[in-house]
Chains A and B, each alone.
Chain A
């Protein structure tokens, strides 16, 4: 049993043995945990991935005459300045106020440019008071002009993360990257066996062995600290997170990088490394966690709900091979499918971080700290907000017709039932196409007489479990005013129209 104080003494004397979490695996395998805990003093970890919940507190110093900043923009990206007169918080995901730039240059990019020492345009507007008579300020600053640039990231360093695939027949742009249709790819994120939280997690107590509030860490290339558990921290389910802080002025663009996830938003790639003091054999054993030991649930991001269906479970070792074979349930049929996998975080940079932190300790530039308190155990709650689903506003029974009816018959149904959309079905009531009043008008103009000539065969439909927000999005994306609602067997259950949705919105307002 060692203490952190003893380890720091060894570091000071140049006697400490520091290894990365990758190196620790083979040491524990060869020597056993007991022996490994005697040999090794510190295990270094690292992770480098997109961490949306990141940002910086900036203090601009006072202008003359002074201003109370209320609306503050840095290179066109708004920072929240309802903090104090010249303090602002710039969030990584904040989009540009210029629609044409929007997510291509957001908060994360400003943060990277600050770290790079680039010039930033500051524009601010305030309301005048006796203390702060100035209304507007417009100037150019660099990070050196700021009193403080304090990185404070409320949720970083996820212990585990899901991998993402897409069951839909259209591509999706998610925070896990672009997901190709029909399970075209599986994207994952995370450093696996190098992940700091995984290496310190005690699976029995569901707490962390060594780190907590006040633990000194590697943050974006500088020395920072764990401020506490992160938001949505959920250690019991293996989804622990950290709130971290550090001095942006000391960071390095190699380890803190602005990025844009296509058609999703801007985000900050954050490099975090945490040293784990090997105080006993239990800690040594935990630090030997391997990629294959870390479970990664496979989620279907095609279901755009809070709780996405889990299609299976894999692990980082299999994910890193670049492909994964799995059995999928496609329309009630079991299908074996080989899905290409790819990472959306950088394992290479994670390794560099663990290595850099190791070098710092070896060079006596970094000493370990005792935690001030353990991380709180929390369980995240969901937001109380009613989901209005298609099934809630579905009208029964469905009004449908067979393809054998004539155009005048179809037009009669539309008029009599006072509807605009008529799904055309086969003998099992499964969708074949759809006719709208516009199709009928076109048929009259073009003298077409059969339903199959005029119906839309590529039908966009909705399922009863879809939220109406999704239906509204589908209608606007496809420029249509109604969708048939179908069950898993493509049987038509009803129709949802733009009018149905606008009625709801009217009701809510």
Chain B
């Protein structure tokens, strides 16, 4: 199963190799979707892939060194604002946006990594980003 999380690592732990620790200890596959390091903290968007136990244990481990928050719905399309032009489609790095048969533009929220690129490109500002 797959789980996406936002992860803050606090200042005193930024040098701790937490991501490689969970890979080694709990046999979980990790995709780093976003990483931003600042002098006193680090911010990561991670996708964890593994069985239920390994995911639970990984998250528990990560929590010892920082804060974890589930990514429930990073973006939302305002239907009344969207004109279904499709300008956003090619700018989605993970292919979460596509044209349906009837040329309406749809978002696969499960695939979304919250990068905001689509929101920046949207000519009618129809995409809301829940930034944390």
Instruction: Judge whether B84 is part of the interface by a CB distance below 8 angstroms.
Output: yes
Residues of chain B within 8 A (CB-CB) of A177 are: 87, 121
Asked if B86 and A344 make an inter-chain contact with CB atoms under 8 angstroms apart, the answer reads: yes
**New A-B contacts (17) at CB < 8 Å, excluding given A259-B124, A349-B84:** A49-B85, A177-B121, A178-B121, A180-B90, A180-B91, A262-B120, A269-B83, A269-B124, A322-B98, A340-B89, A342-B89, A345-B85, A346-B84, A348-B84, A348-B103, A349-B83, A351-B103
Q: Check B90–A342 contact: CB distance below 8 A.
A: yes
B104 contacts the other chain (Cβ, under 8 Å)?
yes
Given contacts A178-B91, A341-B90, contact A346 B123 (CB under 8 A): no
Contacting A at CB under 8 A, from B99-132, are: 99, 102-104, 120-121, 123-125
Question: With contacts A178-B121, A257-B124 known, is A344 near B87, CB below 8 A?
Answer: yes
Q: In the complex, which residues of chain B have a beta carbon less than 8 angstroms from the beta carbon of A341?
A: 90
| Shortest distance from the beta carbon of B116 to any chain A beta carbon, whole Å | 12
Q: Which residues on A sit within 8 Å (CB–CB) of B120?
A: 262
Give B65 Cβ to nearest chain A Cβ, in Å. 36
Give the shortest distance, in Å, between B99 (CB) and chain A (any CB). 7
Chain B residue numbers with a CB within 8 Å of A49 are 85
B102 / chain A contacts, CB cutoff of 8 Å:
348, 351
Out of A261, A347, A348, name the residue touching B123 (CB < 8 Å). A261
How far, in whole Å, are A180 and B91 apart by their CA atoms in the complex? 9
Shortest Cβ gap from A194 to chain B (Å): 11
A187 interfacial by beta-carbon distance below 8 Å:
yes
Q: Which 9 A-B pairs have the closest CB atoms?
A: A259-B123, A348-B103, A185-B90, A348-B84, A342-B90, A343-B86, A347-B103, A342-B89, A340-B90
Number of interface residues of A (CB under 8 A): 29
A67 at the interface (CB under 8 A from B): no
> How would residues 75 to 88 of chain B score, 1 for a CB under 8 Å from any chain A CB and 0 otherwise?
00000000111111
CB distance from A375 to the nearest CB of B (A): 28
- Considering only CB atoms and an 8 Å cut-off, how many residues of chain B contact the other chain? 19
| A322 touching B124 in the complex, CB below 8 Å, given contacts A342-B87, A342-B89, A343-B87 | no
Question: With an 8 A cutoff between CB atoms, is A198 at the interface?
Answer: no
How near does chain A come to B89, taking the closest CB pair, in angstroms? Answer: 5
A322 near B89 with CB under 8 A, answer: yes
The contact string, 1 if C-beta is below 8 Å from chain B, for chain A 346-361, is 1111010000000000
Pair B103/A48 contact, Cβ less than 8 Å = no
Chain A residues contacting B87 (CB-CB under 8 Å) are 177, 187, 342-344
- Within 8 Å of chain B (Cβ to Cβ): is A115? no
Among residues of A, the one whose C-beta sits closest to the C-beta of B98 is A322
Bound-complex Cα distance A345 to B87 (A): 8
**Chain B positions within 8 Å of A261 at CB level:** 123
Cα(A362)–Cα(B98), bound, Å: 34
Among A259, A260, A269, max chain B CB count under 10 A is at A259
Complex interface: chain A residues within 8 A of B91 (CB): 178, 180, 185
Task: Give 9 pairs: A residue, B residue, CB < 8 Å, sorted on A.
Answer: A177-B87, A257-B83, A257-B124, A259-B123, A259-B124, A269-B123, A269-B124, A347-B103, A348-B84
In the complex, A422 has a CB within 8 A of chain B: no
* B101 → A minimal CB distance (Å): 10
Give A262 to B103 CA distance when docked, in angstroms: 22
Contact indicator A343/B125 (Cβ below 8 Å): no
Interface residues of A in 257-310 (CB under 8 A from B): 257-262, 267, 269
Given contacts A257-B124, A259-B124, contact A346 B90 (CB under 8 A): no
User: Which positions 162-187 of chain A face chain B at CB distance < 8 Å?
Assistant: 177-178, 180, 184-185, 187
How far does the Cβ of B106 sit from chain A's closest Cβ, in whole Å? 11
- Chain B residues with Cβ below 8 Å from A342 are 86-90
- For B124, list chain A residues within 8 Å (CB): 257-259, 269
Q: Name the A residues within 8 Å of B104 (CB-CB).
A: 348
> Within 8 Å CB of B98, what residues of A?
322
Chain B nearest CB from A350 CB (Å) reads 9
Q: CA of A345 to CA of B85 in the docked complex: distance in angstroms?
A: 5
In the complex, chain B residues whose CB is within 8 Å of the CB of A269: 83, 85, 123-124
CA distance A304 to B55 in the complex (A): 51
Which of B98, B104, B121 is most buried by chain A, counting CB atoms within 10 A of its CB?
B121
Asked if A27 is at the interface (CB within 8 A of a chain B CB), the reply is: no
Q: How far is B104's CA from A271's CA once the two chains are assembled, in angstroms? A: 16
Q: Is A50 an interface residue (CB 8 A)?
A: yes
Cα A322 to Cα B102 in complex, Å, equals 14
Name the residue on B nearest A340 (C-beta).
Answer: B90
Tell me, rounded to whole Å, the shortest Cβ–Cβ distance linking B92 to chain A. 10
Q: Which residues of B contact A344 (CB under 8 A)?
A: 85-87, 123
Distance (whole angstroms) from the CB of B93 to the closest CB of chain A? 11
